[in-house]
Structure 1
């Protein structure tokens, strides 16, 4: 890629939702390094010799699992100094033969780029999901159950914090000024 920020949306679309396997493979070979790595909640490919073919296999299986994928890159942040692209993505992924209606899920992708001869290539991809968003991909009706569980965890944390404070583990003594970078007091 000459300009990763403007080109990455099309690359992501071709890698995940290509109309044909040949298009996906050609895109992959054009934009991904020979020693690429990949990390996802369900799999991990360590960068090194032969890793590129393993990552391609993950992309191909992803496409086989879902014959129709809608994916939109909502925003891109580029950190050129560290060779990082951060993508905020929404995707609708429908597992083949699943009786459930697919629902959109949010995904955060961190791409590590490598620059060679003025072009940028994907060297490592990391996919991050919230638990309820990940469940939306696999079994959409269970997403609300996961969200409820997450809310219950917050309630339990609040209760445990109050118990810990009563027992003296992390008690707030009284008003003190929070430390900061600059003074918020008004004269």
Structure 2
């Protein structure tokens, strides 16, 4: 890539949503570093010589599980819709580029449907952090990390579990407050109840929240 912020949307589509395994493989060879690393809730590829082939195999299996894809990409400053094939999987994408650290953040919303799954696909969100390496003026993907909230990851596999996970998370929040109140009655981490002067951080003035 010569301009990662502008090109990453198209590159992401080529890597994940190509209509041909040959196009996908060529995209990996063109845009992904040979020693790429990858981290995901279900798998990890440590950076090593020819680890790109291992990551390609993961992406190929990804397409075997969900072979028909539509990609909808919304990048910074513009909208782009690309029709690749009949839809059983699709995603929206927004990018943030930290040029100084050669890092891209992709905020993705996807709908993924496993080929044999009887469940209706549901939208799920993930954050992808991509580290780039520069070689002779061109940028290559050298590390990728995929981050999901538990309920969003559940939507990929068993969508009906997502409400139960959210309910459990809400219950944990309520329980945390109950436990904190009990602990404070026992003398643990109890505020003194008097006004405390905070150090001047320069972020805001007094109690202003705007």
TM-score interval for Structure 1 and Structure 2 normalised by the shorter chain:
over 0.9
Counterpart of 1:26? 26
Q: State the distance in 2 between where 1:185 and 1:124 align.
A: 42
In the TM superposition, what whole-angstrom CA distance separates every residue of 1:84-135 from its partner, at most 9, and x where no partner exists?
A: 1011011111011100010111110000000111111000000000000000
Q: What SS does the corresponding residue of 1:140 show, helix, strand or coil?
A: coil
In the other structure, the counterpart of 1:60 is 60
Q: Distance in 2 between matches of 1:70 and 1:180?
A: 47
Paired residue secondary structure (1:172): coil
Structure 1 position 171 matched with structure 2 position 209: no
Partner of 1:184: 205
Aligned to 2:138: 119
Structure 1 residue aligned with 2:163:
144
Structure 1, residues 154-175: CA drift from partner, whole Å, max 9, x if none?
A: 1111111111111111101122
Q: Which runs of 5+ in 2 are unaligned?
A: 69-88
Query: How many aligned positions are there?
Result: 185
Equivalent residue in structure 1 for 2:108, among 89, 93, 98: 89
Once residues 180 and 13 of structure 1 are traced to their aligned partners in structure 2, the CA distance between those partners, rounded to angstroms, is 47
CA distance in 2, matches of 1:50, 1:167: 58
3-state SS in 2 of match to 1:152? helix
* Aligned residue number for residue 3 of structure 1: 3
Can you give the 5+ residue segments of structure 1 that lack an aligned partner in the other structure?
none
| Partner of residue 73, structure 2 | none
Pairwise CA RMSD of aligned residues?
1.3
Q: What CA distance in whole angstroms lies between the structure 2 residues aligned with 1:161 and 1:185?
A: 27
Q: Which runs of 4+ in 1 moved over 2 A?
A: 177-180
Distance 2:183 2:9 in 1: 48
